[in-house]
């Protein structure tokens, strides 16, 4: 018999015999620690095709869900529209987010100026996540805010 309460982290595994020979239920308890991170006011622009790292490597090992809220705070023109990319890795020291040791999770996320988007990720084991963004216009910058919640 296996029952699990995923939010509380309690798992009733199976019946076992206790020290006196009676039947007891084995229960293991783990803590439900939430990880959160934010990176605000990161300038975002297209600098010869490379994207700006908005959320640096953030450890999410052991988490079952990740929620990312991305804001494009540009407010003046469509030149400030931005493309965000979420990356994941299993490596311990993967280097710069978006590099060769990172794999993009999902599709590009296009966020128009003065707007936001939310992305939920039900994780298979991921050690770390990071986010990059770029506007696509070398002479126009915007700013980006990223908020992450993982539990």
For residue 68, give the nearest of 121, 8, 27 by alpha carbon.
121
0.85 exceeded by the pTM?
no
Q: Model confidence at 150, in pLDDT bands (50, 70, 90)?
A: confident
Q: Are 40 and 3 contained in the same domain?
A: no
pLDDT per position as a tens digit, 93-114:
999 999 999 999 999 999 888 8
Q: Are 39 and 24 contained in the same domain?
A: no
Q: Are 93 and 57 contacting, i.e. CB atoms less than 8 angstroms apart?
A: no
Q: Are 14 and 56 contained in the same domain?
A: no
Order across the sheet with 142-150: list the strands. Answer: 35-44, 142-150, 65-72, 115-122
Q: Are 12 and 39 contained in the same domain?
A: no
- Dist. CA 49–CA 133, nearest whole Å: 11
- Dist. CA 13–CA 35, nearest whole Å: 27
Domain that holds residue 60: 35-150
For residue 133, give the nearest of 149, 111, 115 by alpha carbon.
111
Angstrom CA distances, 78 to 1, 5, 40, 90, 110, stand at: 57, 46, 21, 36, 12
As given in the structure block, the two tokens for residue 6 are 């995923």
Looking at the 3D structure of the chain, how many domains does it have? 2
- Dist. CA 36–CA 38, nearest whole Å: 7
Q: Are 20 and 61 contained in the same domain?
A: no
pLDDT per position as a tens digit, 24-37:
655 544 445 556 66
Q: Are 73 and 113 contained in the same domain?
A: yes
Q: Are 117 and 100 contained in the same domain?
A: yes
- Dist. CA 10–CA 110, nearest whole Å: 39
Q: Are 58 and 119 contained in the same domain?
A: yes
| 74, pLDDT greater than 80 | no
As given in the structure block, the two tokens for residue 58 are 């953030």
Angstrom CA distances, 74 to 41, 44, 51, 79, 85, stand at: 10, 10, 16, 9, 18
Q: Report the CATH number that the domain containing residue 112 is assigned in CATH.
A: 2.60.120.380
Instruction: Tell me what pLDDT residue 48 has.
Output: 59
């Amino acid at each position: 018999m296996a029952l699990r309460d995923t939010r509380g982290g309690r798992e009733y595994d199976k019946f076992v015999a206790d020290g006196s020979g009676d039947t007891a239920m084995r229960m293991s308890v783990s803590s439900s620690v939430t990880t959160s991170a934010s990176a605000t006011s990161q300038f975002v622009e297209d600098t010869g095709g490379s994207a700006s790292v908005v959320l640096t490597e953030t450890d999410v090992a052991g988490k079952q869900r990740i929620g990312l809220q991305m804001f494009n705070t540009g407010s003046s023109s469509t030149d400030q529209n931005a493309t965000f990319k979420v990356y994941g890795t299993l490596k311990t020291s993967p280097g710069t987010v978006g590099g060769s040791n990172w794999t993009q999770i999902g599709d590009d996320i296009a966020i128009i100026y003065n707007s936001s988007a939310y992305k939920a990720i039900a994780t298979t084991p991921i050690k770390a996540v990071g986010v990059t963004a770029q506007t696509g216009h070398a002479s126009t910058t915007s700013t980006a805010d990223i908020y992450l919640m993982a539990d």
